[in-house]
Amino acid sequence: MTRIPLPLLKFPSLLLTASLFVLPFFVNSQISDDRSILLELKKQWDNPPDIDNWNDTSSPCDWPEINCTGKAVTVLLLSNKNIVNPIPSILCNLKNLTHIDLSYNYIPNTFPTVLYNCTSLQYLDLSQNYFVGEIPGDIDRLSTHLKFLNLGANNFSGDVPAAIGRMPELQTLQLYQNEFNGTFSENIANLSNLEVLTLAYNELFVPSPIPEKFGNLRNLKYLWMTSANLIGGIPESFANLENLEHLDLAMNFLTGSIPDSIFQFKNLEFLYLFHNNFSGGIPRLVNSTNLVEIDLAMNNLTGPIPEGFGNLLNLTFLSLFSNQLTGEIPVKIGQIPSLKYFKIWKNQLNGTLPPELGHNSPLLAFEASDNAFTGQLPQNLCSKGALLGVVVFNNFLSGEIPKSLGNCSSLTTVQLHNNSFSGAVPEGLWTATNLTSLLLSGNSFSGELPSRLAWNLTRLQIDGNKFLGEIPTGVSTWSNLIVFQASNNQFSGRIPEELTSLSQINSILLDGNQLSGEIPGNIIEWNFLNTLNLSRNRISGKIPASLGNLPSLNYLDLSQNHFLGQIPAQLGHLRLNALNLSSNQLSGKIPNEFDNLAYEYSFLNNSDLCADTLILDLPSCSRITSGNSEKLSTINLAAIIAAVAIFLVAILLAFLLVRDYRKKKLTRDLSAWKLTSFYKLDFTEESILSSLVDTNLIGSGGSGKVYRVPINHMGSAVAVKRIWNSKNLDQKLEKEFLAEVEILGTIRHANIVKLLCCISSENSKLLVYEYMENQSLDKWLHRRKTKEAGNNEYAYTTKANEMIDVYSFGVVLLELVTGQEPNCGGNDKSLAEWAWKHYADGNMIEDALDEEIKEPSNMEVMTRVFKLGLICTGTLPSTRPTMKEVVQVLRQYSPSQSNGESRKGNEKVAAPLLGILNHKRSRRVSSEDEESFGCGV
């Protein structure tokens, strides 16, 4: 023990007096030193506005960003402070600093090794910044006391170094969402105190198995390795991870069966293994009774759903869709008191649905489409009043819709199409407050349409049923309806003029009914109508000339009715992709715009129609009626006919010889080709392969060429993308081809081009798409040949597809106002990233706009469109607006918005939407996926 000097013992009052004077001196000195360091730090960071409160007159311990222990600065909280400069070395002059949080800033450069000098550091968060380069191989020189290290959401590359495993006190290691293109060290397994490990969203990792040694991390509670390019199976050593609470290995390439041990972890609450290649059955013995969420979707799992799932009383989310599961749903699953999301679509399940489903829990989403279920819908799906969606299409369900769904105001989507339901639709379902889509096609529903529908209903599909009666005049109140599909029912009576007042309508399909009378001549507001099909009815009278004034009409089918008189010349002003007026009683001359082979089958069975030319199979309108016209003599006529015949025979012989040669050559080559179709085709691989010539070339890019190939005499064509032409197939291109086939081959979306088929051989692979006649928006924007470029986004749920559409549309908006191309950002940045950085750096928006169209009168609109493009390209899909919101904002600035009341209404939408930019762009990555309907429309 250290002894107190004798003179001081003799004078205790002197010792006390000295203490009272010396201690405040040291305290004040410490505060002064730390304040000077912090003010110098602020200066070297160019005085960020968010820390303006730092000054030389107050104690740093009173600043919100600072915590002190014993008047010494120990904690620095500078998250989201718009710091854009590197970390200065002066930071570590704060000798007592234990906690540094610099997340959500814009700090650049390589890993800040100056932090090696912060010897007391226990907590370091550098996530969500702009750090680049490799993590240093001597990163273990950081404080030996370090327990928390977060380097996530940066741009670190290379390997995760072995030195990481030489930081024995680490309890949390987060390295998610970087640009690592090497491997992660198995030395991580040496971190015996590790409780949290995140390596997710590092898609550039070299394909690697999960190290067997990871089973040594016995204290691990949270493991997040989504999309980390993992291969192989789950190691048997994982049975040692008994403390796991959260296990996420989703979106990898893992194979084999799911180990039985996974469902034995007593503390496990969240299990995400979706989007892998797991096979075999789901383990039958389930003892992880604390499970809250299970997601095993998008694998190759077989066998039944385990009965043990019905004992998981805390389960809120169960997702098993897109597997090959068989058998019936365990009845006890319907009795789970906490179940909110139940997603089992696209399996081979059968039997009846659990009758108590929804009765005992606040069920939000029930998705069971594409199975073989029979019987009725459970009667109490919405007993807790929380149900958002029922998606059970493509089954064998029957009976009536439960009356309880008619009292379920929370519903947003009901998709019952392609079953055997019957009876009347509950009255309350038509008008459910929040309903946006009601899909009942392909059943045996009956009854009449109501005068009123849900105020926000956008899609009503009731085709292929037994609905009858007239279309109500109250249809004018269906103001938000976009798709009205009521084909093949028993509707009768006239088409009410009120139907033409639907300002948002895009598609009207009323074919195959018993409608009569005339089409209303006064079309009130069909400005967005794209498709009108009234064929196979009893409609009469003249075709209204007002149809020719619809600016968006592309598809018009009035065939098999009783129309009379001439075809209005105004129809020729339309840009129609398809027109069918066949089987009517039309007469007179067809409009000149239709006198070509593109409309060869548009006017069949109208005996009194004629044309100016003989291109179509119609009589000539200029028949010679005068008997005084000179006639060719029989001899001259015979001579001319003979000469023409000889010429045609010669041409025909030459054509046959050439065709025979080509056919033989093509036949030899065809054996090497394989065709995989996704739709019913009206062409063969022979017709495609023979047309891949330079005259049909319309574009080229880094991975191939694009051809426009005619497929029939109607003017139809397909677009053929030749991915590569090399015997040494590049693995990246192989993955690109397979990914494009897998995704586009299964998508059925009105706004996504259809992949009709793929044709492949050893040396070449072809993708055949439907051809979009107006070419690419890129060509109109940038006046060049189409190049392959774009922005890719991947999402787990299909609701995210809409968000991807919004993102792509946002890129288009930015192209429009900046005049730039999607990949113009430089330094491997996209246009969206460049635009966001331009805005975040405080630059004037006007500086980013296209000089060719930038005028004072356009400045406000261009600025708003630029901002809207930024909002649409937000990093997180959940932060983006819907396309409906985007359209409403754009309409505010449309020339047609001259009505003050209408414009004012749109401003109510635009103001909060554009106001999002008042807040800093969020870049946080969550391990939890957004909830959405897997089969949403």
Report the binding-site residues: 721
Radius of gyration of the chain (CA): 35
Query: Are the CB atoms for 240 and 263 separated by under 8 Å?
Result: no
Burial class, 84, CB count within 10 angstroms (exposed 0-12 / middle 13-18 / buried 19+)? middle
User: Residues marked as binding for ATP?
Assistant: 721
Query: Are the CB atoms for 467 and 491 separated by under 8 Å?
Result: yes
Query: Are the CB atoms for 486 and 513 separated by under 8 Å?
Result: yes
Q: Which residue has the tokens 């106002």?
A: 817
Q: Which residue has the tokens 């041990």?
A: 261
Q: Which residue has the tokens 């509670």?
A: 221
Query: Are the CB atoms for 618 and 610 separated by under 8 Å?
Result: yes
Encoded tokens for 515: 């409608």
Residue type, 541: G
Query: Are the CB atoms for 162 and 185 separated by under 8 Å?
Result: yes
262-292 residues labelled b (16+ CB within 10 A) or e (exposed): bbebeebbbbbbbbbebeeebbeebebebbb
Query: Are the CB atoms for 76 and 95 separated by under 8 Å?
Result: no
* Three-state DSSP class for residue 249: coil
Number of Cβ within 10 Å of residue 394's Cβ equals: 19
How far, in Å, CA of 684 to CA of 125, rounded?
59
Q: What angle do CA 907, 910, 914 make, to 5 degrees?
A: 140
Q: What is the 3-state secondary structure (H, E, C) of 367-426?
A: ECCCCEEEECCCCCCCCCCCCCEEECCCCEEEECCCHHHHHCCCCCEEECCCCEEEEECC
Helices 883-892 and 799-818 sit at what angle, rounded to 10 degrees?
30
DSSP state of 47: -
Mention every residue, 6+ apart, whose C-beta is less than 8 A from residue 712: 682, 683
Task: Give counts: helices (H), strands (E), the chain.
Answer: 12, 49
Of the candidates 303, 412, 318, the residue with the CA atom closest to the CA atom of residue 348: 303
How many angstroms separate the Cα of 404 from the Cα of each of 377, 431, 538? 11, 14, 38
Enclosing H/E stretch for 872: helix 859-872
φ, ψ for residue 69, nearest 5 deg: -130, 115
Encoded tokens for 107: 């700090």
How many angstroms separate the Cα of 466 from the Cα of each of 385, 419, 879? 30, 14, 42
How far, in Å, CA of 708 to CA of 714, rounded?
15
Residue type, 256: G
Distance, CA of 531 to chain centre: 25
Query: Are the CB atoms for 522 and 501 separated by under 8 Å?
Result: no
